[in-house]
A and B are shown apart, each in its own frame.
Chain A
Amino acid sequence: DAKTTQPPSMDCAEGRAANLPCNHSTISGNEYVYWYRQIHSQGPQYIIHGLKNNETNEMASLIITEDRKSSTLILPHATLRDTAVYYCIVKGLYGGSNYKLTFGKGTLLTVNP
């Protein structure tokens, strides 16, 4: 799996949009970008994933650059409950080690009142 690079920490004001960047410059054509988050020591929570088009669901939006070398997770109106470690993970669907998720250190997002 391709490696990802994320800032170790970010702050965001409550009610504002949180934009979390991720670099994945070695991503290959059949690899998806997944985002999970982990609140304190709870189980990782799936947020969103995408291949090359921008994606939106009830939790967040995912913007993937045209060259697919980076992406941004957007939480449109961050709340205190969004304080968590956010993981950007690149993973293929077919072949190779596609069963596992490889977690990095992620970005600790702190939402401030």
Chain B
Amino acid sequence: NAGVTQTPKFQVLKTGQSMTLQCAQDMNHNSMYWYRQDPGMGLRLIYYSASEGTTDKGEVPNGYNVSRLNKREFSLRLESAAPSQTSVYFCASRRVGNQETQYFGPGTRLLVL
């Protein structure tokens, strides 16, 4: 049981390049999330997926796209990276019930030059 996994762990991009961040969970959760965290700040929701086949915008969706490939996988794509997208990106899956819990992946550290 690996929980939530993310790839890559670290990436450097040049302005205008594109990339996809991968996320997978093996806990059979319906809901998955993408957050970004800037230094010294809280987490801001980019996109979420309540179930397979559905996605919705969070607080800061501009410049990003997502795909919920299946129940396990939720990817985040930067079509044309900008320095303002330099951040740490966390994927999470959510267990719903009496104890609302989000399980986070280890994060992807992205530097856009």
Partners in one complex: no
B residues whose Cβ falls under 8 Å from a Cβ of A: none
A residues whose Cβ falls under 8 Å from a Cβ of B: none
